[in-house]
Structures are given as structure tokens and as C-alpha cells.
């Protein structure tokens, strides 16, 4: 495993978006992220070139999208201590809940689209739950080339809401 500097994970997301300052405020308000002021860099055109927030053991970098850069929504996974509070805060900041809280292999899973059209997979872990995803998916032994999942109502709902959300992602300006 690569050694990352303190405060960084081996992999950290970088979100390029419009109105990056507002996204930073969203991350602070919704997830309790903490900005790293020493990482803030503004480009000669006045756009935010680089900023960072710490969230758990990860760093999320954020920058403003230049006018000739393509729309690139981010897809991110976040673990939270209180899913209901997180979703309430996200709604309050303009997010749309895509997948309502749903039991998912011993945890609770939800998904929302933020006002920048980033899609967030949000989980609340239940440390007391011990779940073997293979048995819950209908098979205690999974062959190496077997990738199908059993269509339980929860998994079907999670899958369908993802398909819908992905089809709705748009550059809104």
C-alpha cells in the first residue's frame, strides 16, 4: 500500500465544477469537512484553481471549471455517522435525494445529487452487523466469473435509482 502524507488517503477525489466556493461550503455544512486554508490557490483569472477539505481520513480537492473545460460530474462514496442528519443537511443545501435510505448488506445506504450534479453514495455503517454479501445475494459460493446479483427488492430499487440518476446528470450552467 502506498504511503500517503498525513491527512491524505492513497486515493483522494478532485472535483472540477462551477461555483467551487459554494461546493466547499456545501461539503463543510453537509459532511462537516474542514477546509485546509493553506491549500487554497486562485488562478490569474480569479477562478479557484485548487482548494482542499479534510473529510474523515480523506482529502477532497476542488477547483473551478474553466469555460472551455468539459462538464465532469463526480461520483463519490462517503461513510457518515448519522445518515438522516446528513440527508437533511444535503436537502437544506439544495441536494436531491436519489435513493432513500435502504438496508444494504448490513449497512444503510442512500444516494443524493448535489446542486452541481455530483452523485454521492452515502452509507451509515452498522458495526454490529456481520453480513456475507454472497449469502445475502443468494449464493454462498461465487464463481470467479459470476457477477450477477439476486434481484431483492432493495437491490432492485438501488439499481433502478442509479440508472435514473445517471440519465439525469446534466451541465446546468
CA-to-CA distance for 50 and 52, rounded, in angstroms? 7
**Residues in the chain, overall count:** 173
CATH (residue range 73-173): 3.30.720.110
* Phi, psi of 80, rounded to the nearest 5 degrees: -125, 160
The DSSP letter of residue 38 is G
pLDDT digits (tens), the chain, 173 positions: 678 888 888 899 999 999 999 999 999 999 999 999 999 999 999 999 999 999 998 999 999 999 999 999 999 999 999 999 999 999 999 999 999 999 998 899 999 999 999 999 999 998 887 666 555 555 445 455 555 566 889 999 999 999 999 999 998 87
Structural domain 1-72, CATH architecture = Roll (3.10)
pLDDT of residue 67: 95
Strand partners, 97: 112
Grid coordinates of 157: 430499487
Rounded to two decimals, what is the model's pTM? 0.87
For position 5, what pLDDT does the model report? 87
Q: Is there a contact between 17 and 62 (Cβ–Cβ < 8 Å)? A: yes
Nearest to 64 by CA among 99, 27, 22: 22
pLDDT of res. 128: 83
Domain boundaries, the chain: 1-72, 73-173
pLDDT of residue 137: 52
Amino acid at each position: 500500500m502506498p504511503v500517503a502524507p498525513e491527512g491524505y488517503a492513497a486515493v483522494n477525489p478532485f472535483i472540477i465544477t462551477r461555483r467551487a466556493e459554494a461546493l466547499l461550503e456545501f461539503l463543510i455544512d453537509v459532511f462537516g469537512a474542514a477546509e485546509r486554508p493553506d491549500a487554497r490557490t486562485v488562478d490569474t483569472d480569479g477562478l479557484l484553481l485548487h482548494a482542499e477539505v479534510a473529510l474523515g481520513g480523506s482529502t477532497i480537492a476542488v477547483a473551478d471549471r474553466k469555460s472551455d473545460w468539459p462538464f465532469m460530474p463526480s461520483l463519490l462514496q462517503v461513510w457518515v455517522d448519522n445518515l438522516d442528519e446528513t440527508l437533511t443537511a444535503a436537502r437544506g443545501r439544495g441536494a436531491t435525494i436519489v435513493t432513500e435510505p435502504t438496508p444494504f448488506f448490513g449497512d444503510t445506504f442512500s444516494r443524493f445529487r448535489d446542486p452541481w450534479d455530483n452523485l454521492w453514495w452515502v452509507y451509515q455503517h452498522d458495526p454490529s452487523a456481520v453480513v456475507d454479501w454472497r449469502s445475502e445475494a443468494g449464493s454462498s459460493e461465487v464463481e470467479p466469473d459470476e457477477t450477477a446479483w439476486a434481484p431483492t427488492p432493495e437491490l432492485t430499487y438501488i439499481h433502478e435509482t442509479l440508472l435514473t440518476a445517471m440519465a439525469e446528470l446534466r451541465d446546468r450552467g
